[in-house]
């Protein structure tokens, strides 16, 4: 692909198609006080099945997502996970904008530009997160996190020619309650098969620091999303890590 060629980043899906992803959430938490430090590490593996239930005249998609926890390892010890499945219904535009969702509370999803983009081009997006006041447990107004995206180039991933998109969230400082402040930063990369119109891989690491006069909490969360099954004869050369 020439650097002078623009790429249109949009989903291309059909009714009744199913996509299966493996999600791995790697979380390291640390609490620092005057009396010492305490650390905890979780590794959670999940399977997400995404079914296209409708394609609307405006090109948007209705999706049903089923998320199943498969394995949880805490501090090196496997923990029994609740087999309960979480089902989420949503409607999404071709550019990935979240139009409707069955999830409680407001939510938005960063989306692609609706015009073709060139290698090296950048754009901005916003995601809203719901937080609670750690002192009272009461919900706080949604907070918008600004994200910067850069189309870095085309790379091979799982047999696809993928647009590699660099994701960065500059540090966002959020006052939660008197004396308690939370700072959030994130960075990572997404691999989007622009010809087939599907997400192939996403790796994003988020660092959260919450400061309180008596304690500081650190949480590093790395979320990896891997496509492992898709229509049109997709097969991964990599072993599907979740058993069962």
- Give a three-class secondary structure readout of the chain: CCCCCCECCCCCCCCCCEEEEEEEEEEEEEEEECCEEEEEEEEEEEEEEEEEEEECCCCCEEEEEEEEEEEEEECCEEECCCCCCEEEEEEECCCCCEEEECCCCCCCCCCCCCCCECCCCEEEEEEEECCECCCCCCECCCEEEEEEEEEEEEEEECCEEEEEEEEEEEEEEEEEECCEEEEEEEEEEEEEECCCCEEEEEEEEEEEEEEECCEEEEEEEEEEEEEEECCCCCCCCCCCCCCC
pLDDT for 109: 55
What are the structural domains, with CATH classification, of the chain?
Answer: 18-227 (2.30.230)
In this predicted model, which residue has the larger pLDDT, 191 or 131?
A: 191
Any idea which of 59-73, 124-138, 167-181, 203-217 has the lowest mean pLDDT?
124-138
pLDDT above 90: residue 119: yes
Give the pLDDT confidence of 170-223 residue by residue, as tens digits.
Answer: 888 888 878 888 899 999 999 999 999 999 999 999 999 989 888 899 999 999
pLDDT of residue 3: 53
pLDDT above 50 for 244: no
Say what the pTM is. 0.85
Predicted confidence band of residue 107 (pLDDT cuts 50, 70, 90) = very low
């Amino acid at each position: 692909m020439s650097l002078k060629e623009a790429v249109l980043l949009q989903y291309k899906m059909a009714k009744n198609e199913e996509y299966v992803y493996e999600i791995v959430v790697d979380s390291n938490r640390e609490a620092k006080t005057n009396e010492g430090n305490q650390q905890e590490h979780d590794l959670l593996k999940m399977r997400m099945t995404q079914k296209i239930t409708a394609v609307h005249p405006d090109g948007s998609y209705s999706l049903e997502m089923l998320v199943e926890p498969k394995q949880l390892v805490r501090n090196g010890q496997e923990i029994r996970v609740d087999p309960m499945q979480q089902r989420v219904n949503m409607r999404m535009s071709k550019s990935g904008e979240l139009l409707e969702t069955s999830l409680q509370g407001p939510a938005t999803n960063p989306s692609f530009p609706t015009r073709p983009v060139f290698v090296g081009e950048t754009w901005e997006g916003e995601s809203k997160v719901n937080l609670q006041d750690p002192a009272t447990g009461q919900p706080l107004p949604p907070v918008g996190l600004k994200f910067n995206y850069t189309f870095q180039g085309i790379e091979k991933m799982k047999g696809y020619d993928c647009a590699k998109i660099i994701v960065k969230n500059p540090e966002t400082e959020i006052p939660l309650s008197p004396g308690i402040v939370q700072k959030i930063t994130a960075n990572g990369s997404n691999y989007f098969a622009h010809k087939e119109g599907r997400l192939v891989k996403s790796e994003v690491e988020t660092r959260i620091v919450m400061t309180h006069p008596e304690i500081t909490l650190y949480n590093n969360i790395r979320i990896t999303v891997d496509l492992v099954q898709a229509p049109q004869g997709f097969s991964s050369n990599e072993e599907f890590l979740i058993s069962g």
